[in-house]
Amino acid sequence: MINQTMIRQRLTFIKEYLHRLNRLAQIPEKDFFGTDSCAAAESYLRRTLEAMFDIGRHIVAKSGYLELAQEYISIARGLQELGVIDQDLGEKLIKIAGYRNRMVHLYNLITDQELYAIINHELDNIRLFLQQVIKFRTTCRKSN
């Protein structure tokens, strides 16, 4: 059975981090680079992605697709297959999974410029994830 409490808690984290990322996106570019704002943006973005994939892993595993709950890219595919997220978001989530891996394993290659671009142009994907998971949760609760 899907743990609604865990999903609700992670969604709350994502909303809070998204709020903080939105505030950081308001900082002028020249004031963003080389400051603690970059480190904060990286941390909030990484935490957001971890929370998204925690939710995804849980849903996919509890739906009986344990083999798809092992890696981030397969979690994205599993969420697509289960209809939790639509095809378009699923494709974006696969790319986000790759970026999450880059943030964790190749962190030294992440630039201030790309972080600034992401928080200014890519947060809609996170908002879509929130909307679609909330819709799934509502549907899931009604069927229980």
CA gyration radius, the chain? 15
Model confidence at 12, pLDDT cuts 50, 70, 90, reads very high
- Show the tokens assigned to 69: 């709950």
Domains of the chain with CATH codes: 4-143 (1.20.120.580)
Query: What is the structure's pLDDT at 134?
Result: 95
Encode pLDDT of 99-123 as tens digits: 988 888 888 889 999 999 999 999 9
Tokens 């950081």 identify what position? Answer: 24
Region 70-82: what's the mean pLDDT?
92
Q: State the alpha helices, DSSP H only, in 34-86.
A: 36-62, 72-81
Distance CA(122)–CA(90), nearest Å, equals 15
DSSP structural state of residue 111: -
pLDDT at 140 over 80: no
